Structure 1
Amino acid sequence: MKSRLLVYKKLDFLKKYSLKFLFISFVGIHIPLLGIILYLISVEKNEVTPLEIIILALILTLVATSITLFLLNELLKPLKMIQEGLDQYIQTKQLPDLPEHYQDELGQVMSKLQNTLEQLQHLLDEKHDLIALLSHDLRSPVNQIKGLVALLQDSEEELQQEYLQVMDGLCTQHATLLSEVLFMLKQEEENTAHKVFEYVDLIKLLDECIQEHHTSLEKKDVSVSLTSSVDNVQVNMERTFFQQAIRNLLENAIKFSFPKGAIDIRVETVSDQLQIHIRDYGMGFKPEVAHQLFDKFTRQGKKGTFNEPSTGLGLHLTKKIIEQHIGRVEASSEGQGKGATFTIRLTQWKSMSKTMDVFSVEN
C-alpha cells in the first residue's frame, strides 16, 4: 500500500496537507504562463502571431489541467488508503499497513488510525483468550466440585474430610482465577481512561503488601525482610495497579517458598534507576525459561510448594503494569531448587534525602 504514495511522499517536505494542494495548484496555474514566456523568448517577436499565442495557451492549459488533476488525484490516495484499510479490517479483521512516518495532518491521522486498530485488535485477542479461559478453566472446577459432592454423599466419614479439602482447594483456585481475570478486564478498561499518577511512599506501600499476606506467610512459616538504601523514596505511580503488581510478585515468592523459608525485599538505586528486588529461596526455575514466565497463560506455570495453583496471568499482569509505569520487570534464577529473584526497574522516582541509611522491616 505504501508504494502507491509516490507523489505524497515527494511532497513530504511541505509539513501541512493544505500546502501540498496549494503547491500543486500553483504549479498547474503557472505552467501555461511559463510555457508562453519560454516560447516568446525562443522565437523572434515579429514571427509570433496572436493566434499562435492563443493556441499555445489553450494547449498548455489543457496539459496543465491534466497534470494538476492527476497530481491532485495522487494526493488523495492516502484518504483512499484509509477507506480501504477500514473496509478491509471491518470485513476480514485483517490489519491494514498504513504509513506512520508522515508529519502532516493526514499523516498523523494515518498513524493514529493504525495504532488504534492495532490496539483494538489486541483487545479483541485478549477477549478471545479470556473467553477460551473462561469456557475451560472456570467450568472445569465447577464440574469437579459437582462430582465431589456426589462422592461426598455416598462416602464414608473418613473420606469426607479429604473430599472437603479438595473442594476447598478448587474453590480457592476458582476465586483466584476470577480475581485475576476481573483485574485484567479492569486494567484494560482503565487503559482507555485517564489514570491518576501520584508520588507514593514506596517503603510504606511494600510494608502494607507484606502485612496483607500475613496469613499465608504464617501458614508456611516464611519470614520477610524489607531493606532500603534510599531514605523516603517516592515512586510516581497509579497506586491501585502498582500495588497489585507488588502483590503478584510477593504472592509468587510465597507460593514457591519452602516451609520455614525466607523472602528478601531490597530497594536500591543504580545510577538514576530505582530497583526493587524480591527474592525467595524456594523452587526456582531453569534460567533459560525466565522470559517465558511473563507470557500470558504461560506453560511455565507450576504449582507451589503447598500445591497452590497457577493461572498463568499474575506475572503477565505485573509486566504490563510495570511497563505502564515506564519501567520493566525481570526474573532470574540459578536453577531449580535455588530460589528466584524478580527485579522491578523504575525511572520515575524521587527521594527526599540521598543518604544511604538502611530501613529494615522483619516479618
Structure 2
Amino acid sequence: MILRRDPTKALQVGFLVVLAIATAQVAWWITDQRALARGEQDRVVALYESDASAVTAFVELWNADGRVPAVEQGALSDVLARLPHLAFDPAVGVASVRADAIEELAADVASRLNRYAWEGGFFLLVLLLGMAVLTRAIRDDAQLRRRQQNFIAAVSHEFKSPLASMRLSGETLATRSTEPDSRRLGERLVEDADRLLRMVDNLLDTARIDDGRINLRPEPIVLREVVDGVAAGHAARASREGIAIRADVPLVAVDADPLVIESVLRNLLDNAVKACIAGDGRQISIEAHGDGPDVVIDISDDGIGFAPRDAAMIFEKFYRSGEAGTNPMPGTGLGLYVVRRLAEISDARVVASSEGPGKGATVTVIWPAARP
C-alpha cells in the first residue's frame, strides 16, 4: 500500500470550497436584500395609499356638513404640507399618491440593490485574489520543500555508500586486529558509522513520509524477535555507557510492515539511550502486553526526561529534549517525528509521558495485533 498526499492540492480544493460557499452566501445575501427592499417599497407605498385614503375621507367629511370638525379651516393645507408624497385634486376632492414619489422609492430601491451587488462583487473579488495569492505562495513553498527533500534524499544516498565502507573497515579492524587499542578504535568506528547511518535513514524516512511515498506491506510479526534484534544492535554502545537494557516481551504478534516496526523500535531505543547518556541514566526497559485488539509496547528510561507539558511536542520535527536548557540531547530531532508518522500511517498510536526533567520518560506504542 502506497500512501500519497499532496497538501497543496488539498488546500486548493479547500479554497475552492470556501469560494463556492462565499459566492453562494453573497448571492443569497443579495437576493435576501432585494426581497427586503421590495417588501419595504411595497410597505411604504401601502402607507402612502393609506394616507391618501385618510385625506380623501377627511375632505368627504368636510363636504358633508360644510365644515371641518374640530379643526380650523387651514387644517387641510397643514396636512397636505406634512404629506408631500400626496397630490390633491380640489375639483373632485380626492387625494392620491404622486407618481414621482413612487418613482423616487423605486430609484432608491434600485440604488440600494446596485450598491449591494457592487459590494458583494468586490468582496468576492478580494476573496478570490487573496486565495490566488495564498495558493501561489503555498505552491511555491511546496515546490521549495520538494526540492529541499530531493536534495536531502540525494545527499543522504551519497552518504550511505562511504558510511557502509567505513563501517566495514571498522568491523575488519575490530575483528582481525590483535591490538586492544585497534579493536576499540574499530568498535568505535562501527558505532559511529551506525549512528550516522541511522541519521541518514531518518532523513530518508522523513523525506519519504513528507512526500507520501511510504510503501507498506503489513504482515504478522513476532514482536520479541524484532525487539531482541534492535536491543542487540544497541547493546555495545549501551554497555560502554554503563546502561542496562532489559526486555520483557511475550510471544505476541503485531500486524506491521517489518521495516516500519523495526524503524519505530530502533528510533525509540536510540532515543532512550541518548536520554540516558544526557541525563546520567542507567536503565532502559522494554515491555509489552496484549490489550484486546492491540499490543501495548512501553519503552522506559531513567534519563533526561522532559516537562509534562512537552509530551506532544517531543514528536514534532526537529524538536530535541532539553534544547531550551544547557544540556540538549544529541541528534537531529527527527527520530521521534519518524516514529509518530510511521505509527500514524500504520494505524498505531504513540504517546510519551514523564514526571519532569531528570526523572526519565516512557514512550508507549499501541500497535494493532496480528489477527489469529
- TM (norm. structure 1) is 0.49
- TM (norm. structure 2) is 0.48
Greater Rg over alpha carbons, structure: 2
